[in-house]
Structure 1
Amino acid sequence: MNLNSLDLNLLVALDALLREANVSRAAMRIGLSQPAASHALQRLRDLIGDPLLVRTGARMELTPRAQALRSPLAQALDQVRSLFITDDFDAARSERQFRLMMPDLAVELLMPPLMEKITKLAPNVRIDVVPWRRPAIFTAEFARTIDMVISIGNAFTGFHRQRLYTDSDALAVRRGHPAGARLKRTETFLDARHVAVVIRGQNEDLIDSWLRPKGIERRIALVVPGYIEALHVTARTDLVAFVPRRLIGALSKQLSLTTIAPPLDPGIDEQFMFYPTRAQMDPGSVWLRNIMLGIGREMERGKRPTPRSA
């Protein structure tokens, strides 16, 4: 292949076609007309010697060759884009949009202080938060669409990991709960009816995974997908929630909750910040990460988020 005849815009078009597997959607993605996108597809077919997209019934599908091109093409375009990243990040003038993925727990604890700082330092920056999804989503293609992930767990391929803050688990009950402090006793804990939190991508509440090898089974009365839901239900019933202590503290005033030490201590929870390897030297990413790490340090020093007023 003669690289002198290669139009870089064709690679951008190819990337869109491989991601969308649809000429019309690919055209919209990169701001071309549909005839222009169709012309680009024909040029790419001639250049690569493969049809790339073939019709199967009413839809288009990628050929095996096209499938094989997706990941290396994405990496190549990322490297090209990195050549044009500026050496600094002007937060006060930036209109950049950052995309973060995190569970509801992290949204509740981290977003208020983060947005307070961003409002002062970078009033035109936008933060988009998407809900936590299962670890299987951590692919090279996903890394291109996200700036930061907040989660527990091990490192993910293509991502760097830094510890953000630590926490511990406790029992949350409504004020005036009939069992109250007696929940510190194992027998009362076992007699209570519990809310389990099973986050997307998990098979059961992590607390139950920890308790089961010890021969302990909670009486699960309700299963919800997030910690916020668990605390809202707990605040209006006699159910008990076994959740991170910082979250109870953040919502205790608003929801009239009380924190009870559990009869068994599962130890320290670690919450991590993950960011794509490709963004390691990106000034905007470095700026956002430093702010987030600062919030984590404040939390570790005991500056817990101020509970929201009712």
Structure 2
Amino acid sequence: MNDLRAIDLNLLVVLEALLAERHISRAALRLHLSQPAVSHALGRLRQLLDDPLLVRGQGGLVPSPRAHELAGPLAEALAQVRILLGPSGFQPATARRGFRLAMSDYGAMALLPGLLRAVRKTAPGIDLVVSQASREGMVAKVADGEVDLALGVFEPLPDGMRSAPLFEESYACMVDAATVRGLGKLDQVAYLARSHVLVTAHGGRVDPVDAAVAKAGGRRKIACVLPHWSVAPALIAGTNLVLTTARRSLAAFEEDARFAVFEPPFALPGFTFSLIWHDRTEADPGQTWLRERVKAVAAGDEPGDAISLRR
């Protein structure tokens, strides 16, 4: 067993940064260290743990199996040390800290503007870094400590994860208004006769819209599959394509005469948009503060939000 007195525990902070960034230069910037210092620390870590930990691969460093095993326990241990050694409370006005969030472009559209305004107003020294991943990827990043919070629609979560519902969401359809002139919407037959745009950030999973259509005895013809929502409305203009997506993402188009936004012509269950985090950060005062800010924005309690979340 290694004697802790002989180990520089700062090496664990370096390992955390390397596992998150997977790049020596970016880890050095994150730690405010020189690149040679980080390279030297990685060499010491390899010797200490008798493992290569990170090896060069396409686009950066690739964690070894041993490094993957260490990621979760390392994040948990460092989170507890930071709580232990940090201040007893969190002072937003004077805090200097960064938080890492994961969300889709839909989540960013719905919550990020209001959240950033709230953070900048009360905690100008707080920085937010936002990344995107599949649902499974976001859960894994939270579990491994690569991100602090994730926002999205999640299946039952694994042990060690916590969640809070932010709002209930429903679906709506959008088409070019010229293609439904005099009707304003499509019935089931017309809906299924057209081709569709599918927005999905995950492969292999049955899309909830397709599942509902199948339950009604139909099947959509998908003309275009996108990994993000933001460009989807532009694909509808001037075509007979149909976009079926979260209603909030279409709020800005409901008063646009170029488009028709209407209820789906079949039963389509809504979904709960949630915030998730790991048990190990439950008692962290800074993360508790940030979670409360996210909840307040979702509830419409932060002034000046561009998109109403009370729909």
Correspondence for 1:122: 123
Q: Is the 8 A contact 2:169 2:271 kept in 1?
A: yes
Deviations 1:151-205 (CA, angstroms, capped at 9, x unpaired): 1122433421111001111111233333563644211212222211122345453
Is residue 278 of structure 2 the alignment partner of residue 280 of structure 1?
Answer: no
Gaps of 5+ in 1: none
Shift of the 194–101 alpha-carbon distance from structure 1 to 2, 3 Å rule, reads same
1:94-129 alpha-carbon deviations (Å, 9 max, x no partner): 332222111111111112222232232223322222
**For the structure 1 residues 159 and 255, does the alpha-carbon distance in structure 2 shift closer, same or farther, using more than 3 Å as the test?**
farther
For normalisation by structure 2, the TM-score amounts to 0.77
Contact 1:134 1:201 in 2 (8 A): no
**Structure 2 residues not aligned, in runs of 5+:** none
Q: Does 1:289 align with 2:285?
A: no
Q: 1:283–1:74: structure 2 CA closer, same or farther, 3 Å change rule?
A: closer
Moved more, 267-276 or 7-16: 7-16
Paired position in structure 2 for 1:196: 198
Specify the structure having the higher radius of gyration (Cα). 1
1:16/1:29 contact within 8 Å kept:
yes
2:94 counterpart residue number? 93
Aligned to 1:110: 111
**Matched position secondary structure for 1:262:** coil
Q: 244, 257, 275: which is aligned to 2:246?
A: 244
1:145–1:43 distance in 2 versus 1, CA, 3 Å: closer
Match for 1:147: what amino acid?
A: D
Deviation per CA, 1:260-305: give whole Å up to 9, x if none.
1221121222111112222212222111211211222239xxx981
C-alpha separation in 2, matches of 1:3 and 1:111: 42
**Letter of the structure 1 residue corresponding to residue 162 of structure 2:** H
- Residues in 1 aligned to 2:54 and 2:146: alpha-carbon distance in whole angstroms: 26
2:161 equivalent in structure 1: 159
Matched position secondary structure for 1:177: helix
- Distance apart, 1:217 and its partner CA: 0.6
Q: Between 29-38 and 146-155, report the one with greater CA deviation.
A: 29-38
The answer to which of 195-204 and 23-32 deviates more is 23-32
Shift of 1:140: 6.8
Aligned ranges 1:1-310 → 2 under 5 Å: 1-12=2-13, 31=33, 34=36, 38=40, 41=43, 45=47, 50=50, 69-136=70-137, 138-139=139-140, 143-157=144-158, 158-178=160-180, 181=183, 183-203=185-205, 205-253=207-255, 256-298=258-300, 305=307
- Judging changes above 3 Å, is the alpha-carbon distance between structure 1 residues 251 and 109 closer, same or farther for their aligned structure 2 residues? farther
CA–CA distance in structure 2, aligned partners of residues 142 and 153 of structure 1: 14
- Alpha-carbon contact 1:89-1:284 (below 8 Å) kept: yes
Identical pairs, percent: 29
Equivalent residue of 2:232, what SS?
A: helix
Cα pair 1:133 1:200 within 8 Å, conserved:
yes
Cα drift, residue 68 of structure 1: 5.0
Q: Secondary structure at the match of 2:231?
A: helix
Q: Return the offset for 1:131.
A: 1.6
Shift of 1:27: 7.0
